[in-house]
Structure 1
Amino acid sequence: MSQPKRTRDPDAKRAAILAAARAVFAEHGYEGSTIREIARRAAVTHGLVVLHFASKEKLFLAAVPGPSILVANVPGDVDGLPGRIAQAYVARMESAVEGDLFLALLRSAAGDQSVARGLLRAVREEAVIAYRKVLTGPDVDARVEMLGAHLIGVTFSRYVLADGPLASMPADELVERLTHTLRGILLG
């Protein structure tokens, strides 16, 4: 009896690795996750994971959902931008469940500074490209950086630490307040 012929599908294997990585990082955080466990769940070899991603940090950064939900809401009129971003952010975060990948990865990134820097760079690059299509002026990079820092702070206060007035604020009030602060950051 002959062995079934193995098929090579690098895109499918890469997708399986990323899916497994998201699950493992969400369950165990960055430091508690291993390439071996990710490979096992993806039904691939440890070497194939390293071949595709080179390191756990690079795999982590590839698995992180970027700011696409916010970037998708950038196009449109400049005046409505703060409200669109606030609404998209709150809707995304309010629908997150315990063990949500974004929150788990954010918690993990906070524990490892090199990973946190890589994550911040990746998010910053994607966001700056999108915002430059709508915003003008020499300080767009700084405004986008301030936007990111503000939303990271809100995320930690409300969704990670979940303590204090910000954590108990109704979602519609949060959207209203965020729209106001984001207007100041983005439009001055």
Structure 2
Amino acid sequence: MSPKPSQSGSPAPEAQEKRKRVRDPEGRRVAIIGAARSVFAERGYAKATIREIARRAEVTHGLVMLHFSSKEQLFLAAVPGTRDLADSVKGDVEGLAARVARAYVERMESADSADPFVALLRSAATDQDAAKALLRAMREESLGAYRTVLDSPDVAERVDLLGAYLIGVTFSRYVLADGPLAAMSADKLTRHLTSTLHGVLFD
């Protein structure tokens, strides 16, 4: 059925606006990401659904999947974490460990339950399949970022070790929040992380 024309013969303003939105894929993508941030923040990673995100963004489920191939990819695009990793690794190789350590600590000191590391740990306790899917997506995103500055043949293994180490730090300091690691100052933690991450990446 064709849009009802206005008295001037042109489509009504509502139809024009609808067509404008349809022809604005970047605007739809922004709307999807905004809705995803809200849903993930309210419900957590495990309980959030693509269908609810689509409803809030006023798009179809299929359009969400057209922009983002999976719930995991949408999550990583919508929340801080691996989304910022590409910016963290940019620069000279010598300062890589320090940049990653500093970016991780700065983010986690103000992070909430929507951070990928925290979401991974929380979902592992209730849904291991979801946790594995999120871990795989995080691994792929991280590896892609690190390969822009590292060309060692074992870079995949090193990035996986680095991720495992940071997951452990996240669990102790930011989830359980107990013990000497949790009580450590942010500056001291950054120094320790810089040393350890340098070893993981280069030794």
Q: TM-score, normalised by structure 1?
A: 0.81
Aligned to 1:165: 180
Q: Do the aligned partners of residues 99 and 127 (structure 1) sit closer, same or farther apart at CA in structure 2, a change above 3 Å counting? A: closer
Q: Is the 8 A contact 2:46 2:123 kept in 1?
A: no
Q: Deviations over 1:136-166 (max 9, x none)?
A: 4321111111111111111122112222221
Q: Is the 8 A contact 2:40 2:114 kept in 1?
A: no
CA distance in 2, matches of 1:76, 1:31: 35
Question: 1:114: how far off?
Answer: 2.7
User: Are residues 1:79 and 2:94 paired?
Assistant: yes
What value does the CA root-mean-square deviation take over the aligned residues? 2.7
CA distance in 1, matches of 2:137, 2:117: 17
Structure 1, unaligned runs of 5 or more: none
Q: Do the aligned partners of residues 31 and 138 (structure 1) sit closer, same or farther apart at CA in structure 2, a change above 3 Å counting? A: closer
Of 61, 66, 71 in structure 2, the residue corresponding to residue 59 of structure 1 is: 71
One-letter amino acid matched to 1:105: A
One-letter amino acid matched to 1:61: Q
CA distance in 2, matches of 1:170, 1:179: 14
Question: 1:99: how far off?
Answer: 4.7
Question: 1:91: how far off?
Answer: 1.0
Following superposition of structure 1 onto structure 2, how do residues 67-106 of structure 1 map, counting pairs within 5 Å? Answer: 67-96=82-111, 98-102=112-116, 105-106=119-120
CA distance in 2, matches of 1:135, 1:14: 31
Q: Is the 8 A contact 1:27 1:99 kept in 2?
A: no
One-letter amino acid matched to 2:73: L
Structure 2, unaligned runs of 5 or more: 7-11
CA distance in 2, matches of 1:123, 1:31: 15
Q: Which has the larger radius of gyration?
A: 2
Q: Do the aligned partners of residues 149 and 107 (structure 1) sit closer, same or farther apart at CA in structure 2, a change above 3 Å counting? A: closer
